[in-house]
Amino acid sequence: MTSFDRPHLYIGGEWVTPASTETIAVENPATEEVLGHVPAGTAADVDRAVAAARAAFDGWAASTRRAEVLDRLHTALAARAGDIARVVGLELGAPLKIAKAVQAGLPLAVLRSYADLAARPAPETTVGNSLIEHEPIGVVGAITPWNYPLHQVVAKVAAALAAGCTVVLKPSELTPLVAFLLIDAADEAGVPAGVLNVVTGTGPVVGAALAGHPDVDMVSFTGSTATGRAITHAAADRIAKVALELGGKSANVILEDADLTRAVKVGVGNAFLNSGQTCTAWTRMLVHRSHYDEAVALAAKTADGYPVGDPFDANTRLGPLVSRAQRDRVLGFIERATARRVTGEPSLPAKGHFVAPTVFADVDPSSELAQEEIFGPVLSIIPFSSDDEAVAIANNSKYGLAGGVWGSDDRALAVARRLRTGQVDVNGGSFNPVAPFGGYKQSGVGRELGEFGLSEFQQVKAIQR
């Protein structure tokens, strides 16, 4: 098997030797074989990377060529699209179709949008006798998750660079390899030295050092709510800005006048996307009682049509979960559930961290199954009797990241407006990579993507004349 060892860190425009000789093994979750190793970075590596980012900041903030650099980066990254899909398929276990379309395709679309935004910066505006300017916030620490390992990196890095910030990136230690493809592309594209740096390592070491670093002006984090809380505390000591994209437990509301077949099939697909390892997954399906039994039967049949197996097999629709720990966590939720399981238990590959597609019916809206983010291919179906009850159940969550509503257009839109969540799809509206993305409540603070994502990395200055 080809080795994917990446022994160096990228700091100050150079591949450098880490401060420690310790490494982190990167596993293929479908085979449980080691793909390669990356450096186990240290606080000293973070210090070096932050110093490089600080030294590069003034020049990058003043540059009029940011759009040109991002355009070259897009070209270099697009040339690696096939490698991106393959690497994500290997280190995450994403089925190849998803790896190509989403894991490789979406970050390219996002990067393209930020190259375009950098080419047309917001004009200066006036309010009375004040001139309003938008300036980059400074050095950004970007800490990214394992489930969409390139998209989440690009959503932060491209926005920060377009805004004029410099970045120190810590990718997830579970899926760090694809981030190196971005750095390879950045090096080839001539991103100026120190503008983009990468330090691999664990959250408790590298992540903590970055979040608490006195010379980091902003931390942008995607991951668990518990870790987001710790990062907020670390940044609070120096009053640094924090942007957080955290957990979700999104509801898919199917009203009585919805196209039931389409709503259920799309809903199951959304819940199982990326083997359920998606923060926006519609993991609660709320169905009007008049169609409830039909919906349960249809959801079970649809779920049974999701073959589990080798991510590189064209017939596979569900790959493995990212790690043994994640698999065991998901299985724990399934084993503790008291609701009615309506899907079977198919045989799974002997090796790999696989979980069968699982649908529960008659789920108590206040139960663990309906309240906790499981992050696996597990769907809960809950009945409701009125639009008001559906809204109450949907909003009965500590999270508020995404959701869906199906029904006649005006009625579905009215329900969507009542959901306390950052993004809602009505009747299968497609994902928009330039619309603001982020959550309410414990799903986070701030927004990513498009102009709203760009503004997160900017300060606003008023100059009175």
For residue range 411-421, list pLDDT tens digits in order. 999 999 999 99
Is pLDDT at 1 greater than 70 in this prediction? no
- Taking the C-alpha atoms of residue 225 and residue 205, their distance in angstroms, rounded to an integer, is 18
Structure tokens at 268: 């199951």
3-state helix, strand, coil in the chain (%, to 5): 40, 20, 40
Average pLDDT value for residue range 304-321:
96
325 band by pLDDT with thresholds 50, 70 and 90: very high
- Please give the average per-residue pLDDT across 395-405, as a whole number: 98
What are the backbone angles phi and psi of residue 185, rounded to the nearest 5°? -65, -40
CA triple 38-40-46, angle to 5 deg: 115
State the DSSP string of 72-108: HHHHHHHTTHHHHHHHHHHHT---HHHIIIIIIHHHH
**pLDDT higher than 80, residue 369:** yes
Q: pTM for the whole thing?
A: 0.97
> Which tens digit of pLDDT belongs to each residue from 127-179?
999 999 999 999 999 999 999 999 999 999 999 999 999 999 999 999 999 99
Give start and end residues of each alpha helix (H) in 244-312: 260-272, 292-303
Mean pLDDT within 380-396: 98
d(CA 132, CA 122): 10
279 given a catalytic annotation: yes
Nearest in space to 331 (alpha carbons), one of 321, 317, 316, 318: 321
Q: Which helix (DSSP H) or strand (DSSP E) does residue 62 occupy?
A: helix 43-62
The Cα angle at residue 273 between residues 272 and 275, in degrees rounded to 5: 65
Nearest C-alpha neighbor of 340 from the set 408, 293, 405, 290: 293
Chain CA centroid to CA 389, Å: 30
Amino acid, res. 424: V
Q: What does the alpha-carbon distance between residue 246 and residue 199 come to, in Å, rounded to a whole number?
A: 22
Longest dimension (CA), the chain: 73
Active-site annotation holds for 245:
yes
Q: What average pLDDT does this structure show over 316-327? A: 97
Mean predicted confidence (pLDDT) in 191-204: 98
Whole-number Å distance between alpha carbons of 88 and 375: 18
Phi-psi region of 141 (alpha: psi -120 to 50; beta: other; left: phi over 0): beta
Confidence bin at 428 (pLDDT 50/70/90): very high
β-strands 378-384, 358-361 pairing = parallel
Out of 27, 91, 245, 448, pick the active-site residue: 245
Amino acid at 328: D
pLDDT over threshold 60, residue 317:
yes
Q: How far apart are CA 138 and CA 450, in angstroms?
A: 19
How many CB atoms sit inside 10 A of residue 398's CB?
A: 13
pLDDT band per the 50, 70, 90 thresholds, residue 3: confident
The pLDDT value given to residue 35: 97
What pLDDT digit, counting tens, does each position of 11-57 carry? Answer: 999 999 999 999 999 999 999 999 999 999 999 999 999 999 999 99
Catalytic residue among 27, 279, 373, 448: 279
Burial of 348 (0-12, 13-18, 19+ CB in 10 A): middle
In sequence order, the β-bridge partners of residue 308 are: 318
What is the per-residue pLDDT across 257-272, written as a single tens digit (0 to 9) for each? 999 999 999 999 999 9
Averaged pLDDT, 190-199: 98
Residues shown for the chain? 465
The mean pLDDT value of the chain amounts to 97
Is residue 437 packed enough to be buried (19+ CB in 10 Å), middle (13-18) or exposed (0-12)? buried
The 10s digit of each residue's pLDDT in 203-213 is: 999 999 999 99
In this structure, of 1-10, 166-175, 282-291, 357-366, the range with the lowest mean pLDDT score is 1-10
Q: In this structure, are residues 435 and 280 in contact, taking their beta carbons and an 8 Å threshold?
A: no
Cα distance between residue 153 and residue 221, in whole Å: 10
